[in-house]
A and B are shown apart, each in its own frame.
Chain A
């Protein structure tokens, strides 16, 4: 009997019931005897010197156990780490977890109250008096780099953290006498990652053994970093990421609140919990995107690309956090997209502003790059009066040309852009929609139809350690897995990848079940606790399956190798004659004599009769360090109806054909694509972190920072082509970010396409109804986002 293969089966996720009902181990659900609660007082101003803090009143408040300022902790709180010094001369300011003498963004912690309950802690914050001496806010990157600009870090003498350049081919030659040159300035607005679960931390100390539970994506990296920052030895610190409700990069961080809670637990000898509110989170989780892109594309008159110049300003915010400066570099190798060209020049400057620090946000660098090139391809098509799919076809790498070394120096191992595009075009009914578009244009319909194309690729599976080393990243990109075959034949899988909603417990069990020939239900997946899973590089950058899944695959192979030797011994056969299939070992040609993996495991455990030198266990470990990134790709097509009277954009249909290689669980892949599309569409239409002229974040609630819900999104049509990755035995590529990366330009391209007859060639993101309408009025695509008082919750404090 052969069981149906688990790999490729659309199993509902085993973790869903507990995650969806919330009856599980969220950090905020953790209760410990004597638990105290922390609350942080945060700067209400963008930039100021702290001249005095008086906490004496707060200390007297009922229920308050202790109050600390940055100065109180100055000797031990250290500086929050930045693990990616992208250049040798990068300006890296000191970043105290609690500000000591100066605050540089609204929301920066200035004091912390520890009290017997959350309410007492929150009330006591109001009794702390802080004197601020105002310093100038620095909000505009282009102003910040001018001579004599106000400085975020006065002692550094500049607002520029670094400048990083990549060049390939003869860019001057590519632009010299080019028949077509397209120059554009695009703005990637600032975004606020909005995980369903807010950040939360619980710390406890027993003797000199510390445990920190955190809603984090990176328990392993966090442990090392917290040990380094606080001086608590790494082997005395256990970090647990219990069930974590989403991250999107925002929990790929070492936060000041984590450091502070650990230090306060150490000082007070009592367990401490802190859970942020949504408004607190909006101001203080690291933000994403925020780039000004100056782009030039040179092409021949037939549409063939000659060269691309990219000049970025990337907003770092006030400080460099864990990988802040490296985010634009993750995009640096992607601006060329799926296209061939003769020359490429990339320059990026990291700029300090008095805003919340930025860092990784779903896609991290690649959405910015993909947006730029996919918008430019549409502009090129328009310039040459070519169909946007045709101009892409003329430039993309043909399927027979793989593996292909791109102008940016990456080797794309596999891909088939033709197949994905053909499929998408068919599902979308491209020609029919083009006909309708023409009809609406002819009729002067107030509701115009636009078609947006995005033929994207991305690099994921972070990452080959040698590549990370060459980019000065502070760690490697391997991943670890252990497979433990228990005496009863049940299997425990330990992964260093730290799931926070991705469904590892299901997918990893599917891989293991197939490889070991055991039932799916017999596999348990353990993760997210440095005491249980001591080795790992955690989850981000769509790396889990392509790196961690491959480690698991290899560990399973090692189990089989060990078991084969044991089975040969039990079957009194030569190891080379023993075959393994469907969970059982048998001697070639003698199928009726066999031993199941469970029998072999029990025999190894009993250890009564082992082969010479055999250790009594089948348990195996593997660490996988990939040779190359993986390169998912796909073709996304968006049809948008634009109401020219109001500027309202309605997505009418959206087709996503993704090629993520081999698929372990199609249901999980579809879920990732749906969520990714929602997030990418949200950048195009809804989300924007807005600061007022004084540097106050005004989008602190979900009434002002708009996220789409299911009712705001179309029914997605998703499909796949399957071109396996050639760089790993599973043939997988990764899917965690693809939807986000692909969809933003597809939507904006659709809006611009609808409005081209009106002379429109850009609408800035997010394409709010007012911005679309103003663009149509010829008033220029001005940013309309102006904080102020209107109806609704967000402005309930004031009036127009």
Chain B
């Protein structure tokens, strides 16, 4: 398909990018790797008048060590994330989820920040950042992950705000991790995904983080599961019992790949599996 016409600007600095967005008012849209936005344009489901391409903004690139956390630049491609030694060391859950994103061609163009700012609840990274309590660093402020995802394809970014990067705490060092993705083909979106971190203390779970992909209009923290497993035994039966509440409070979509009921069921099965894998039991 052929997109409608639009203007294109390619700012060289963050300030220029913000200015360009401000000039465009409500009609501007930031384009990063284009792997989500371009299909929407080509299907004529989105009609921005101005595309602001942030590929040349140096502040948005790369992964930085900030001491107690990492700052992952918004324009870091999935491929770069996968190969980054800091990510592998301090945020292996991010690498695990990123390795399931689409296919190699998409991973070479698509970006970490772009897929998060797109705020697709079927995307793999939103649940991961939510589980890790990441912080979204923008051109004007910092937004905790729990406050970033507002609705389907909608974040709390203001129209003239550019996502610079995401701060990921290093506090999960030593935690077990797993991203359980259920999809029909390797390149398809998750029907349901579970991002999971487990801190084991001997035979018990000291703490756990669980967040769900595609179980609502935003990524969802499975808080009931987290509470149920914390302080309990790190074994499969306990996990299965705790995972029974994984779909609590969610409102998953019904679509061609799965009904809402089926997604609720999957959430319980997959959460139990993700906990077991993360806890290595």
A-side contacts of B123, CB under 8 Å = 791
**Inter-subunit contact A784/B4 (CB<8 Å):** no
A-side contacts of B4, CB under 8 Å = 123
**Inter-subunit contact B257/A768 (CB<8 Å):** yes
Known: A118-B2, A785-B256, A790-B255. Contact between A773 and B185, CB under 8 A? no
**Inter-subunit contact B214/A709 (CB<8 Å):** no
**Inter-subunit contact B39/A793 (CB<8 Å):** yes
Mask of A666-708 contacts with B, CB within 8 angstroms, 1/0: 0000000000000000000110001000000011010110111
Contact residue range for chain B? 35 or more
Q: In the complex the two chains form, what is the Cα distance from A662 to B121 in whole Å?
A: 54
**Inter-subunit contact B2/A794 (CB<8 Å):** no
**Inter-subunit contact A797/B45 (CB<8 Å):** yes
Residue of A nearest to B42 (CB): A277
Q: In the complex the two chains form, what is the Cα distance from A697 to B103 in whole Å?
A: 26
Q: Is A712 an interface residue, CB under 8 A from the partner? A: yes
Q: Looking at the complex, which one of B1, B151, B254, B270 makes contact with A790 (CB distance below 8 Å)?
A: B254
**Inter-subunit contact B40/A796 (CB<8 Å):** yes
A443 to chain B, nearest CB (A): 16
**Inter-subunit contact A279/B217 (CB<8 Å):** no
Q: Is A4 an interface residue, CB under 8 A from the partner? A: no
Q: In the complex the two chains form, what is the Cα distance from A142 to B226 in whole Å?
A: 50
**Inter-subunit contact B256/A699 (CB<8 Å):** yes
Q: Is B152 an interface residue, CB under 8 A from the partner? A: yes
Q: In the complex the two chains form, what is the Cα distance from A712 to B187 in whole Å?
A: 9
Q: In the complex the two chains form, what is the Cα distance from A774 to B103 in whole Å?
A: 30
**Inter-subunit contact A784/B258 (CB<8 Å):** yes
Q: Looking at the complex, which one of A277, A786, A792 makes contact with B120 (CB distance below 8 Å)?
A: A792
**Inter-subunit contact A701/B257 (CB<8 Å):** no
**Inter-subunit contact B258/A770 (CB<8 Å):** yes
At the interface with chain A, which of B13-21, B56-64, B109-117, B261-269? Answer: B261-269
**Inter-subunit contact A791/B251 (CB<8 Å):** no
Residue of B nearest to A699 (CB): B256
Mask of B121-140 contacts with A, CB within 8 angstroms, 1/0: 11100000000000000000
A-side contacts of B103, CB under 8 Å = 709
A-side contacts of B187, CB under 8 Å = 709, 711
Q: Looking at the complex, which one of B45, B182, B186, B256 makes contact with A712 (CB distance below 8 Å)?
A: B186
A-side contacts of B121, CB under 8 Å = 791
A-side contacts of B255, CB under 8 Å = 786-792, 794-795, 800
Within 8 A of A (CB), among B216-274: 217, 251-260, 262, 265-266, 269-270
B43 to chain A, nearest CB (A): 7
Residue of B nearest to A785 (CB): B256
Within 8 A of B (CB), among A110-151: 118-119, 122-123
B-side contacts of A787, CB under 8 Å = 255-256
B189 to chain A, nearest CB (A): 4
Q: Is B12 an interface residue, CB under 8 A from the partner? A: no
**Inter-subunit contact B189/A703 (CB<8 Å):** yes
Q: In the complex the two chains form, what is the Cα distance from A711 to B182 in whole Å?
A: 15
Known: A785-B256, A791-B121. Contact between A686 and B184, CB under 8 A? yes
Known: A789-B255, A791-B122. Contact between A768 and B186, CB under 8 A? no
Mask of B168-194 contacts with A, CB within 8 angstroms, 1/0: 000000000000001011111111000
Mask of B91-127 contacts with A, CB within 8 angstroms, 1/0: 0000000000001000000000000000011110000
Q: Is B153 an interface residue, CB under 8 A from the partner? A: yes
B-side contacts of A277, CB under 8 Å = 1-2, 42
**Inter-subunit contact A784/B259 (CB<8 Å):** yes
Q: In the complex the two chains form, what is the Cα distance from A686 to B213 in whole Å?
A: 22
A-side contacts of B214, CB under 8 Å = 790-792
The main secondary structure of chain B at its interface with chain A is loop
B104 to chain A, nearest CB (A): 10
**Inter-subunit contact A790/B185 (CB<8 Å):** no
**Inter-subunit contact A706/B253 (CB<8 Å):** no
B-side contacts of A704, CB under 8 Å = 256
Max chain A Cβ within 10 angstroms of own Cβ: one of B257, B259, B269: B257
Q: Looking at the complex, which one of A707, A784, A786 makes contact with B185 (CB distance below 8 Å)?
A: A707
Q: Is B5 an interface residue, CB under 8 A from the partner? A: yes
Known: A277-B2, A708-B185, A773-B262. Contact between A786 and B254, CB under 8 A? yes
**Inter-subunit contact A769/B184 (CB<8 Å):** yes
Within 8 A of B (CB), among A72-129: 118-119, 122-123
B213 to chain A, nearest CB (A): 8
Known: A123-B4, A646-B269, A799-B217. Contact between A790 and B45, CB under 8 A? no
Q: In the complex the two chains form, what is the Cα distance from A648 to B191 in whole Å?
A: 12
**Inter-subunit contact B262/A711 (CB<8 Å):** no
A-side contacts of B262, CB under 8 Å = 769-770, 773-774, 784
Q: In the complex the two chains form, what is the Cα distance from A794 to B253 in whole Å?
A: 13
Q: In the complex the two chains form, what is the Cα distance from A707 to B255 in whole Å?
A: 17
Q: In the complex the two chains form, what is the Cα distance from A277 to B270 in whole Å?
A: 37
**Inter-subunit contact A800/B217 (CB<8 Å):** yes
Q: Is A645 an interface residue, CB under 8 A from the partner? A: yes
A-side contacts of B188, CB under 8 Å = 703, 706, 792
B-side contacts of A799, CB under 8 Å = 151-152, 217, 253
Known: A796-B40, A799-B152. Contact between A789 and B253, CB under 8 A? yes
B-side contacts of A773, CB under 8 Å = 262, 265
B89 to chain A, nearest CB (A): 28
**Inter-subunit contact A706/B184 (CB<8 Å):** yes
Max chain A Cβ within 10 angstroms of own Cβ: one of B190, B213, B254, B255: B255
**Inter-subunit contact B182/A768 (CB<8 Å):** no
**Inter-subunit contact B185/A800 (CB<8 Å):** no
A-side contacts of B213, CB under 8 Å = 791
A698 to chain B, nearest CB (A): 7
Q: In the complex the two chains form, what is the Cα distance from A278 to B42 in whole Å?
A: 11
B-side contacts of A278, CB under 8 Å = 1
Mask of B39-67 contacts with A, CB within 8 angstroms, 1/0: 11011010000000000000000000000
Within 8 A of B (CB), among A702-743: 703-704, 706-709, 711-712
A795 to chain B, nearest CB (A): 6
A-side contacts of B122, CB under 8 Å = 790-792
B101 to chain A, nearest CB (A): 13
B-side contacts of A690, CB under 8 Å = 256
Q: In the complex the two chains form, what is the Cα distance from A797 to B253 in whole Å?
A: 14
B-side contacts of A122, CB under 8 Å = 1-2
Known: A701-B43, A709-B187, A799-B152. Contact between A790 and B2, CB under 8 A? no
Q: In the complex the two chains form, what is the Cα distance from A278 to B1 in whole Å?
A: 7
**Inter-subunit contact B153/A796 (CB<8 Å):** yes
B-side contacts of A646, CB under 8 Å = 182, 266, 269-270
**Inter-subunit contact A711/B254 (CB<8 Å):** no
A342 to chain B, nearest CB (A): 43
Known: A118-B2, A277-B1, A277-B2. Contact between A788 and B189, CB under 8 A? no
Q: In the complex the two chains form, what is the Cα distance from A703 to B186 in whole Å?
A: 12
A-side contacts of B186, CB under 8 Å = 709, 711-712
A198 to chain B, nearest CB (A): 11
B107 to chain A, nearest CB (A): 13
Residue of B nearest to A645 (CB): B269
**Inter-subunit contact B5/A123 (CB<8 Å):** yes
Q: In the complex the two chains form, what is the Cα distance from A708 to B186 in whole Å?
A: 8
**Inter-subunit contact B217/A768 (CB<8 Å):** no
Residue of A nearest to B266 (CB): A646
Q: In the complex the two chains form, what is the Cα distance from A704 to B255 in whole Å?
A: 9
Q: In the complex the two chains form, what is the Cα distance from A708 to B45 in whole Å?
A: 26
Residue of B nearest to A682 (CB): B185
Within 8 A of A (CB), among B189-204: 189-191
Q: In the complex the two chains form, what is the Cα distance from A598 to B161 in whole Å?
A: 76
**Inter-subunit contact A648/B182 (CB<8 Å):** yes
Residue of A nearest to B182 (CB): A646
Max chain B Cβ within 10 angstroms of own Cβ: one of A119, A646, A648, A768: A646
5 contacts between A and B (CB under 8 A): A277-B42, A706-B185, A785-B256, A788-B253, A795-B253
Shortest 7 CB-CB contacts between residues of A and residues of B = A791-B122, A790-B253, A790-B255, A800-B253, A792-B189, A122-B2, A711-B186
A-B contact sample (6 more), CB < 8 A, given A706-B184, A712-B186, A796-B45: A709-B103, A784-B262, A788-B256, A789-B152, A791-B213, A794-B255
